[in-house]
Amino acid sequence: MQFRMRFRREDAADKVNDHFWHPVEGTPLEEVRRIQEERLRDQMAYLKVNSTFYQEKFAEAGVEFGDIRTIEDLQKLPYTYKTEIRESLAAEPPFGKHRAAPMADIIQMQASSGTTGSPAYVALTESDAEMWHEMTARCFFANGVRPGDMVLHAFSLAKGFVGGIPVMQGLQYMGAIDVPVGADGGAERLLRACADTRPRCIVGAPNFVLQLAEKAPEVLGCKASELGVERVVVGGEPGGGIPAIRAKIEAAWGAKCTEMLGGTDLGVTYWAECDAQSGMHMVNMDYIITELLNPESGEIIPWKKGAEGEMIYTAIGRRASPLVRFRSGDYIEVIDTECSCGRTGPKIRCTGRTDDMLIVRGANVFPSAINSVITEMVPETNGVMRIVADFEGHTTQGALKVIVERGPGRDPSDDNALKNKIEQRLRDALVFRADIRLVAPDTFEKPGAAKVAFVLRKYPDLP
């Protein structure tokens, strides 16, 4: 029988009063483990036949696919790094050597920010796409969204961005109604759509939804708390789990705020906070196996309250762009392993990154990707740049300040035109807004191999 992707689950409307979107969310961990290991063995058998990337990687590690039967067996395998995915994509575009399904079966593609100027393209079969919808629905349901809700879309709706169309598809699948304005439409359009449609929920980046609330009196002549919003779901950057920011969001909107976490590599969102507001649950344990790595010792550590480490992901049931032991770069703290809501997945907060990725208004940006774009503009530039990260942590809601050396012999009187050109090129390639300042050639010492050479925490003469 031919598989047909469902755009809305037939039983979505019946789930309004359910406690979980899917029973697995409250399943005892012993049974979850049985499901995971059964699907892990199926995934290994699939990769053995269909994945050139993992055939080569396993052979190099001296491991047979049939050796991987339990979650502990995963530790026999090497990690999959973002750099390997980038190299795979370059070797066999557009989806890389790690594409494990025929092109004829691909029905959708998404793009995530890569570590170079080229996006990382992710392929989806029909079953992959429905898996994404199901994972997203579970998260939004845990976050407090219900079938029938109007949901104001305050993430970017830029093409390819996982917070755009995939979020809309997940909401549609669960029977909610996406109000598709997007952060790209600007604060005024979003606020007017909010006043027109009176959505029960808003989804967006935490600092942006706070900015929306602050602009409401100016744009609409009323407080955001008067617009009828009951639930604000935030993600894409830290903030929703920071008590001070959460309190501001809740006070501004007169609504409860819950947080989610995910990414293009494995899905849209796979961690979600319930009404207890005490950490994000893994609600998709039947689709993703998650290990916790101590990056200093290199050891896999148990999921127990207070543990900290980097999350390692293995997809189970994935066809087109599967990943095994993928190093996410997300550094987390385990808040608890039990919850009053009855969900059995561990609860976490994301506290930082183990790489140099920055988050600019919800968009993931790698300094090396910016440098790649600047280098492509030689001789207009000198191929040398520095990012001024004059903000706490790795997240900013402002334009990212980038200092670029102009090319040798360039007239400084042409700086304004070059500035505009670079800013537009970065916006087109990496989907973020930069504030470019041009300086003379050889202002900076040429960077060595260390990636941190691209980033400054301050620059004395920058206005």
CA nearest neighbour of 276 among 143, 138, 137: 143
pLDDT of residue 359: 80
CA nearest neighbour of 141 among 9, 331, 314, 303: 9
Which residues have a Cβ under 8 Å from the Cβ of 410 and sit 6 or more positions away? 380, 418
pLDDT of residue 341 exceeding 50: yes
State how far the Cα of 134 lies from the Cα of 5, in Å rounded to an integer. 11
pTM of this prediction? 0.81
Please name the fold of domain 358-456.
Answer: GMP Synthetase; Chain A, domain 3 (3.30.300)
pLDDT of residue 114: 57
Domain boundaries, the chain: 1-354, 358-456
405: β partners = 439
DSSP string, 344-378: -S-EEEEEEESS--EEETTEEE-HHHHHHHHHHTT
* CB-based contact 152:193 (threshold 8 Å): yes
- What is the tens place of the pLDDT at every residue in 218-271? 999 999 999 999 999 999 877 788 888 899 999 999 999 999 999 899 999 999
Please name the fold of domain 1-354.
Answer: Rossmann fold (3.40.50)
Question: Sign of the C-alpha dihedral, residues 73, 76, 77, 81?
Answer: positive
Looking at 84-93, 365-374, 431-440, which range is the least confident one? Answer: 365-374
State how far the Cα of 207 lies from the Cα of 214, in Å rounded to an integer. 11
Q: How many CB atoms are closer than 10 A to CB 223? A: 13
Residue 4, SS3? coil
Residue 165, SS3? helix
In terms of Cβ atoms closer than 10 Å to its own Cβ (0-12, 13-18, 19+), residue 68 is buried
pLDDT of residue 425 exceeding 80: yes
pLDDT of residue 462: 62
Q: Which comes out higher in pLDDT, residue 352 or 55? A: 55
Same fold? 1-354, 358-456? no
